[in-house]
Structure 1
Amino acid sequence: MVKAVEVTNVVNSWAEKETNGLIKEVLPSGSVGSSTRLIFTNALYFKGAWNEKFEASKTKDHDFYLLNGTSVQVPFMTSKKKQLVSAFDSFKVLGIPYKQGEDKRRFTMYFFLPDAKDGLPALMEKVSSESGFLDHHLPYQEVEVGDFQIPKFKISFGFEASKVLKGLGLVLPFSGGGLTEMVDSPVGHNLYVSSIFHKSFIEVNEEGTEAAAASAAVIQQRALMSMDKINFVADHPFLFVIREDMTSVVLFIGHVLNPLAG
């Protein structure tokens, strides 16, 4: 039992270090036992400064409307500068680029905002059911904006992912013999994944974004072009994506239901 606690602490310390202190406990207490033989872990840390920072002095509190019909007061960032925005049928997409580093990679945070205040579930259904939806609905042109407001938010989330993955059809690792390609040992025939724990953290403010994630395993639609200013007021639940645009790799994806529920 002492050894199990020790191993848990080692893994959690590693995750905390690799995520710059954002995720302190990826393995919960009691997740490692006497039958544990292997622990696979991975971590991702991202910190990006906006290419054009928001002025903190212009951040003001406004209503953010929740799915249950109520609202909360939330600090909103704003800007009068041109923005990467495209309007589609029933939703808009905003892209805010990050400053480029020393290499060629280009990172952008995309906000998928449904027109209807309760439109996030329908939008999520499109994202999950239409192949290539995200890539086919990105803004590529800066436009003049009218009313432009983005909430500051901070999210921390963790869950046990085994049931979700099994529901998606990934069953082999959870049965005996499913890890023989990963473990070159006779013991591999008796090994199986018992649990997968995932935790993530993301914070968005005037400066940019800080995000981390850690895991441990015991139809193309044409944009509606307009010469008028486009309003983009994210005052109700929306989807966000952090994407590397050269490779189209998505680093983080999630949704904001309540910016205050961090």
Structure 2
Amino acid sequence: MKHLMQMITKRKRKYLGAGLLLTAIFLSALTSGCALNGLHKGTQDLTRNIPKEEVETVDMMEPSYESVNPRKELTEFSLELLSENLSHGNCLISPLSIVSALGMTANGAEGSTRAQMEQMMHTDTAVLNDYLKAYTDYMPNSEACQVNIANSIWFRDRDSLAINEDFLKTSRNYYDASIFEAPFDAGTRDDINSWVKKETNGMIQKLLEEAPPRDAVMYLVNALSFDGEWRDIYKKNQIHKGTFNAENGEHQSAEFMYSTEAVYLENTLGRGFLKPYGDGAYAFAAVLPDEGMTMKEFLERLKENGITDLLEQTRNKTVCVRLPKFTVEYNVVLNESLTESGMKDAFDSQKADFSSMAHSDNDNIYISKVIHKTKIDVDEKGTKAGAVTAVEVSEGSAVQTEEPKEVFLDRPFFYMIIDTRQNFPLFMGCLMQLE
């Protein structure tokens, strides 16, 4: 595989950015990191009671692993989710956060419930466990770019609820999940929100607005934070006012950041660039669809061509860029899009089979809600982004003789924050308008 990292050379860091993601899965019964300090009465941190065991995983950088690496399949699944949730307005998701939360959950599923989840993600659960464990162990971290991923499981303190110990062990061994038993009252809401705020460095302030509903028995939560610096900071003379032409026809006043980048992206759908953070392990990627192509059409055709193929078609070429400053906050319940993608039984109170996760004397356990919250800030100093998911349950030195390319992002565009070694997107979004 051609790694984008090889196209980005190391320079002095100059710009700070951060990214955060949150995904949460809530599980209900039909009828009814490091330790978190300051838990409310009734909440117990059971993480130390379930010690992690060493598990052998794959080497992400081993060439032989490329043939079974599920990165491409997971990226395709994430692109499908982005496309399904794009209606009007901005959209921002975290592939890594979503698949982490769903991966944890799939370990507790059996029968058609599990089969549908695996088919939807195009990946076997055991393969996904190995991949996510290996990826989090490998994940590039430096003073210039810091990435943190955390998982937690919260289950209701109830005599009628029995949690499968093997499920908790798998969650600890492969996802390093923290385990909490709680009364699921207002204090539990505050504890979960405190965990989310801590693990996203404050970018996502809260996951839950109210105390858990009476039928909620478990929350599986993933939080992802990204804190990076632009390799080259924007100077004052590189920032100019201009107009962003929003999807709805509105002409919005904007501040555009002008720069010259070294990695150019182009395919039959549009053109774009990569702008590296820090030492080049991560980069901001943007693609401007061809004139006359709607974002929905772009995403549908991109699903056919593949993001991985797009990123492997990068070229060392000078590209003049105009990037608007922007902020996006995005909240979405993924139930409908996941169901439409084939994950039907998990949301059905009668058909769901999470017998490898837990047993409730009251009634069957099913997923009642999948919440995904994201936030991103892009300005002259860098990028700040964040997300949470919950289940309620380079550069070239050759002399160029041709004219530099131009990519002016003054209308809706597609963007990502990617790991340049693996070509895997941590964030993926569409800027349709300025907020």
2:196 pairs with 1:15: yes
Equivalent runs, 1:151-230 vs 2, <5 Å: 151-176=324-349, 177-183=352-358, 185=359, 190-218=364-392, 227-230=402-405
1:60-89 deviations in Å (ceiling 9; x for gaps):
11010112222101110012x343113332
2:260 pairs with 1:86: no
Question: Residue 97 of structure 1: which of 276, 286, 302 is its match?
Answer: 276
Equivalent runs, 1:57-136 vs 2, <5 Å: 57-79=237-259, 81-100=260-279, 106-116=281-291, 119-127=294-302, 129-130=303-304, 133-136=306-309
Q: 1:179 to 1:155 in 2, by over 3 A?
A: same
Structure 1 residue 189 displacement after superposition: 7.4
Equivalent pairs, count: 243
Structure 1 residue 45 displacement after superposition: 0.6
Alignment-derived partner of residue 244 in structure 1: 419
CA contact (8 A) 1:178 1:191 kept: yes
CA contact (8 A) 1:45 1:213 kept: yes
Structure 1 residue 27 displacement after superposition: 2.0
Question: Residue 4 of structure 1: which of 175, 185, 190 is its match?
Answer: 185
1:116-151 deviations in Å (ceiling 9; x for gaps):
165322211112x315x11111253332335x3111
1:8-63 deviations in Å (ceiling 9; x for gaps):
22111111111111111222326x11221111111011111111222234211101
2:218 pairs with 1:38: yes
CA contact (8 A) 1:145 1:232 kept: yes
Task: Please give the secondary structure, in 1, of the residue aligned with 2:353.
Answer: coil
Report the RMSD for the aligned CA atoms in angstroms. 2.4
* Cα distance in structure 2, aligned partners of 1:59 and 1:82: 15
TM-score, length-scaled by structure 2: 0.52
Identity between Structure 1 and Structure 2 (%): 24
CA contact (8 A) 2:265 2:287 kept: no
Q: Give the structure with the higher percent helix.
A: 2
CA contact (8 A) 1:143 1:230 kept: yes
Q: 1:118 to 1:65 in 2, by over 3 A?
A: farther
CA contact (8 A) 1:178 1:189 kept: no
CA contact (8 A) 2:376 2:383 kept: yes
Letter in 1 for 2:210: S
Structure 1 residue 256 displacement after superposition: 0.4
Letter in 1 for 2:379: N
* Cα distance in structure 2, aligned partners of 1:39 and 1:241: 28
Structure 1 spans left out of the alignment, 5+ residues: 219-224
CA contact (8 A) 2:266 2:314 kept: no
